[in-house]
Amino acid sequence: MENFLSGKLSLEELPQHWYTVGGTAFMLITGILIVILLKKTKRWGWLWNEWLTSTDPKKIGTMYMIFAALMFFRGMVDVGMMWVQQSFAADSRGYLTSDHFQQISTAHGDIMVFFVTMGFFFGLMNWIIPLQIGARDLAFPFMNSLGFWLTAAGGLLINFFFMIGGEFANTGWIAAAPFSELEFNPGVGVDYLIWSLQLSGLGSLLAGINFTVTIIKKRAPGMTLMKMSLFVWTSLCGMILVISVFPVLTATTFLLWLDRVFSMHFFTTGGGGNQMMYWNLIWMWGHPEVYILVLPAFGMFSEIVATFSQKKIFGYVSMVCAAVSITLLSYLVWLHHFFTMGAGADVNSFFGIVTMFIAIPSGVQVFNWILTMYKGRVIFASPMYWVIGFICIFMIGGMAGVLQASPPADFQVHNSLFLIAHFHSMIIGVALFGIFAGVNYWFPKIFGFKLNERLDKQAFWFWLVGFFVSFIPLYLLGFMGAPRRLDHYALSTGWQPLFITSTIGFFLIVCGIITQVWQIFVSIKEKKQHLDRTGDPWNGRTLEWATSSPPPFYNFAVIPTITSHEEFWSMKKRGISIQKHYEDILLPKNTGMGIYISGIAFVVGFALVWQVFWLALLGLFGVVACIIILSLDENREYVLPKAKVAEIERMR
């Protein structure tokens, strides 16, 4: 509150360290190159009309994917810097200062969770859920666009400290109080964290509401809940978690900000504040968040296993029950993140036992996947590789989780690299492997051609071997007592060889990522040889394969009536194709409002980081004005006449 006009901003905040100058230069040069490219190819109008303002879930899904992939590179650079530091920092300070190392670590966590994993999942859901439930768009197409752009604004803000401020939070990804309070963290790093999470959290919340309502209200006729495919089921579970816990994140980080800016005392060390309140609240969001990151992946594995085993999923009903019980149990386990808080034996036992319970539905799912393969005619297409790799890693990571569910054992490995290895087994082994499997599986549906499978299998081996080489040493180091976020250590600990091994694993993973990028280039180049003209490249079972690849922008010319949870399979068996009796179709118009509102929201976020309150207020008025203008516009849809539909269908 130093200065009314510029808040905490001053010229000293411009880039001056090697990493901020580098980051700024990178962002500016990339931006300028993109602008030049667009200008040369005269693609401005195309980009704006066809993509940025689109309300088509398939296109928003693709934008989510591209955004998540960009953030993934940022997150990987971060973790590479950390691993290299740890390999060298035995009896030396390494090349990073402790503070810088902690900032990188925080940024890595937040980026990977909020922008990469959730970004990819929202992308895949946008691609596939409307197709699997036989809908033409989501319940709220505009809100979908707004949700994406808010997430993107959050992503920009989390990178913006490179340009102005030069400092990110050094608190760890959950911004643990009281360390994140003003007393210990007077800079703006924590504020950058808070406001980028506020923006992206709001985006996720909107997406969560949207998908929940879409799945509940917009299913094709005949599709009862127990006729939904498993990806739709697990996504519904994940989205219900999103809408019930993301408000907790919003509230908690907002209270932290109030503490920092208005000297309130929610989580401070003085004034009667209660720090453990922060831990309880953040993990009441944080633990369900873990299941938000894995449940949709479980659904994808179920789809892929059934398709490539050429058999229906084993135990459909038990799969649904397992997903729902995981959802319910996930609300009741948050305290296992801080058994060491000293809540007493009774409380710790309760949460320990409930945590162990989660192993039961998870085990049901694993057995069902294995039993689906059993006596099936398994085709080892590349998505299937990821599924099998996932089951191996999930076993190890899951066992490590059950081990830590026991409070006495947890006391030994609390905040150690063992924990890091455990949750990376979950996030890489389940969420990322699920994403890679899902992208390879559904890519032909969205773009009309298959990705190169040989390169995908190569990438898989790099990832799988790289994963074990980098994380098994972390399990061992954790047992030896190496804490998380360790920026230097004594040579006499004997840890250095394990850290170096772990870093070698990281470079194997990097080879995997390079292979994947190369795979996409090669696939686009060889597009013509891998075109999918049938709309059903894998002999699929669920409804999305019933339409052409890529689907027309209205998804289905005629919405089918559903009779089973493997609708397309039963259609194929009965030899029924979709009727050709067309009707008028009502579709949402494109709108730029999502970008405008998110752009203003970005300015508000930036202004609040730097406490430029007049700008933030002005921005809030702008957002309110946009919403009022939007509410006055009643013609947000257009009718596609049936003659036109028939014409488009004839042309295909």
**Cβ distance to another protein smaller for residue 628 or 651:** 628
Instruction: Tell the smallest beta-carbon distance from residue 254 to another protein (Å).
Output: 9
Residue in 588, 594, 608 with CA at minimum distance from that of residue 152: 594
Instruction: Tell the smallest beta-carbon distance from residue 36 to another protein (Å).
Output: 42
**CA distances in angstroms from 286 to 9, 72, 175, 579, 624, listed in the order given:** 32, 20, 12, 47, 30
Residue in 214, 130, 141, 233 with CA at minimum distance from that of residue 544: 130
Instruction: Tell the smallest beta-carbon distance from residue 139 to another protein (Å).
Output: 5
**Cβ distance to another protein smaller for residue 122 or 568:** 122
Instruction: Tell the smallest beta-carbon distance from residue 322 to another protein (Å).
Output: 24
Instruction: Tell the smallest beta-carbon distance from residue 384 to another protein (Å).
Output: 36
Instruction: Tell the smallest beta-carbon distance from residue 508 to another protein (Å).
Output: 42
- Torsional sign, CA 287, 65, 422, 498: negative
Tell me the residue type at 56.
D
Is residue 424 classed exposed, middle or buried when 0-12, 13-18 and 19+ CB atoms within 10 A define those classes? buried
Instruction: Tell the smallest beta-carbon distance from residue 641 to another protein (Å).
Output: 10
**Cβ distance to another protein smaller for residue 379 or 586:** 586
**Cβ distance to another protein smaller for residue 11 or 632:** 632
**Cβ distance to another protein smaller for residue 204 or 548:** 204
**Cβ distance to another protein smaller for residue 15 or 208:** 208
Written as one string, the DSSP assignment of 312-342 is PPTTHHHHHHHHHHHHHHGGG-GGGGGGGG-
**Cβ distance to another protein smaller for residue 246 or 394:** 246
Q: Any residues with CB less than 8 A from the CB of 33 and at least 6 apart, and which?
A: none
State which H helix or E strand residue 637 sits in.
strand 637-640
**Dihedrals φ, ψ of 585, to 5°?**
-120, 135
DSSP-derived letter for residue 232 is H
Helix axes 496-525, 453-480, angle to 10 degrees: 160
- In this structure, how many other beta carbons lie within 10 angstroms of the beta carbon of residue 96? 21
**Cβ distance to another protein smaller for residue 250 or 563:** 250
Residue in 235, 208, 183 with CA at minimum distance from that of residue 438: 235
Instruction: Tell the smallest beta-carbon distance from residue 217 to another protein (Å).
Output: 5
Using DSSP bridges, classify how beta strands 585-588 and 637-640 pair: parallel, antiparallel or unpaired.
Answer: antiparallel
Residues at the interface with another protein (CB under 8 A): 139-140, 205, 209-210, 212-213, 216-218, 243-248, 250-252, 255, 258-259, 262-266, 268, 270-274, 277, 281, 583-584, 586, 624, 628, 631-632, 634, 639
**Cβ distance to another protein smaller for residue 45 or 272:** 272
Instruction: Tell the smallest beta-carbon distance from residue 489 to another protein (Å).
Output: 38
Instruction: Tell the smallest beta-carbon distance from residue 203 to another protein (Å).
Output: 13
**CA distances in angstroms from 426 to 49, 104, 117, 202, 329, listed in the order given:** 39, 21, 12, 25, 17
**Tokens standing for 591?**
């709108």
CB 9 within 8 A of CB 615: no
**Cβ distance to another protein smaller for residue 51 or 331:** 331
